Chain A
Amino acid sequence: MGRLLLSVMALSLLSGCVAVQPWKRGELARQSMAWDPDPLQAGLADHVYFSKEAASGRAGLGGGGCGCN
């Protein structure tokens, strides 16, 4: 168990991940860090996508559409 723990800790040192310090987490709260910085723009893009592709739900749902949009 101790060896496994040591291995995990050693491997974590080799990763490229860097912990964001608690006092720098404001950077993560920035609007530009969101997947969809502009919800209105994202909604419009969604509508255009499923209308053109006939695939309601965009990339978030499985299955196809009927082509009747």
Chain B
Amino acid sequence: MDPAEVEFLAENQMVSIVPNFNFERIYLISGDVGPFRAGLPVQVPIWMATNLRQRQKCRIIAPDWMNTEKLEQVKEEESQSRFFTKMPSEHYMVEGHLLLGAASEDIPHADEIRTILKDIWDMRMSKLRSSVDAFIKIGGTHAKLDHLTAMEINSIRPLLPHALDELYKLQKIVRIISI
């Protein structure tokens, strides 16, 4: 998959906005949105939030995990643990990327949050690399992908599945010969 496709999937996550206009409820296939009342917070998908924000129709309220304290805590946990820890959101990186990109003025300490997110991402990517390597070396047959987010899984595809295919082919030959 392309990162843009993962981003597309992540854009369905809900986020709170404060609109500055009044509008009726909108009926969408994925669910109803609204009604919009100026000044009252309402939950909308990210794609709608970023679009409204770009047209200056609303103010985005940062998700409750998107603050420096919470993220520092997550980062601390991630660095302490040998395994992947649970992220506050299934698409933390994409959400951070989209919301900080579209509405960095609405989110307090946007720059700090960006840095912490990047730190967490880098830490997890390096963990991912070393665990992939260990997985191949010991010739593992299955791996638990608990708490890995879609973008992270996507970053080692199709390299890992294809490498495993090739390895399987080679191992099959050895097995047949030694029978």
Q: Do A and B bind each other?
A: no
B residues in contact (CB < 8 Å) with A: none
Residues of A within 8 A of B (CB): none
